[in-house]
Amino acid sequence: MIIRVLGCHGSELTVVDGKGGTHECRTCGFLVNEICMVDAGSVSAGLQEIEQGKIRHVLLSHAHFDHIKGLPLLADNLVGRVQNGPVKIRALSEVLDDLRRHIFNDVVFPDFTRLPTVNSAPLAYHAFDEEKAFTFDNLEVTAVRVNHIVPTVGFIVRQGDSALLYSGDTSETRRIWEVAAREPRLKAAFIETSFPNDLRDLAKVSGHLTPEMFAREFAKLGRPDLPVYIYHLKPSYRHVIAAELKRLNLPNLHVLEEDQVVRI
């Protein structure tokens, strides 16, 4: 699998990078094999028109704005030029209901599952069930409920003899670690860590992790050597969180950056 990082932060901000330059933090969007977005916080800002046209599927972990922000503009860019059927938005039915009601409701934005016509619309909703694997375009996906403040899943995404774990937004949780620990093909984990250790109370109340909490969660997997890619850092705290993560001394821990490409 080839994972292209379009955005990997918990918000958007241009930050100083420590080398005299700046770095543009964008919200979470990961492009897998050019055809499947995992979350859609960043889509249209990071991709050219031809690249956006290749996207066939979007896996949504939940309905929070920083994970869906790119969807309305992706739909807008595709409308009127749909050739191979709509982009399939795959999520829990509760999440799809929220998109229908609050985003594509003909008020905030048009219902792009029906515009310009039902047969030529750029988006279609496809609900998945928890812990029931589904397949498309050589990928096999299992969604597992995690512990956030709205209905949220993480994913196990498999292709051939490789699999990755994507945590979604989560605080302390159990089930997804059990499912991932039983995955024989697991080659990498993408795990959220949003706040520094001294903002533990804020992390808890907003359903996120700090580096200390991440370390306890990751230990549940029983694979301390597994390559782990940290994402969803709140940009204002990026340097503090990265320093706290480094002190965990995990051998294969990486803090993701925009435009990075990960191959597993």
Integer Cα distance of 174 and 160 in angstroms: 26
Q: Is 39 in the site for Zn ion (CB under 5 A)?
A: no
- HEC profile for 90-145? EECHHHHHHHHHHCCCCCCCCCCCCCCCHHHCCEEEEECCCCCCEEECCEEEEEEE
Cβ 230 to Zn ion shortest distance, Å: 14
The rounded radius of gyration (Å) of the Cα atoms in the chain is 18
Q: What is the nearest approach in angstroms of Zn ion to the Cβ of residue 171?
A: 10
Kindly tell me which of 57 and 64 has the beta carbon lying closer to Zn ion: 64
Q: Binding pattern to Zn ion, positions 59-78, x when CB under 5 A?
A: -----x-x------------
Nearer to Zn ion, 140 or 258 (CB): 258
Size of the site for Zn ion (CB under 5 A): 3
Judged by beta carbon, residue 9 or residue 158, the one nearer Zn ion is 9
Question: How many whole angstroms separate alpha carbon 256 and alpha carbon 264?
Answer: 15
Least distance CB 41 / Zn ion (angstroms): 7
Q: How far apart are the first and last CA of the chain?
A: 5
Query: By C-beta, is 78 or 143 nearer to Zn ion?
Result: 143
List strand residue ranges (DSSP E) for the chain, in order.
Answer: 2-7, 13-16, 22-25, 29-32, 36-40, 57-59, 87-91, 123-127, 134-136, 139-145, 153-159, 162-166, 186-192, 228-231, 253-255, 261-263
135-174: contacts with Zn ion (CB under 5 A): 169
- The residue among 98 and 169 lying less far from Zn ion, judged by its C-beta, is 169
Taking the complex as a whole, the smallest distance from the CB of residue 238 to Zn ion amounts, in Å, to 15
Decide whether 66 or 98 has the Cβ nearer to Zn ion.
66
At its nearest, how many Å lie between Zn ion and the CB of residue 83? Answer: 32
**Secondary-structure percent of the chain, ordered helix, strand, coil, rounded to 5:** 25, 30, 45
| Nearest approach, Cβ of residue 193 and Zn ion (Å) | 12
Return residues touching Zn ion (CB under 5 A).
64, 66, 169
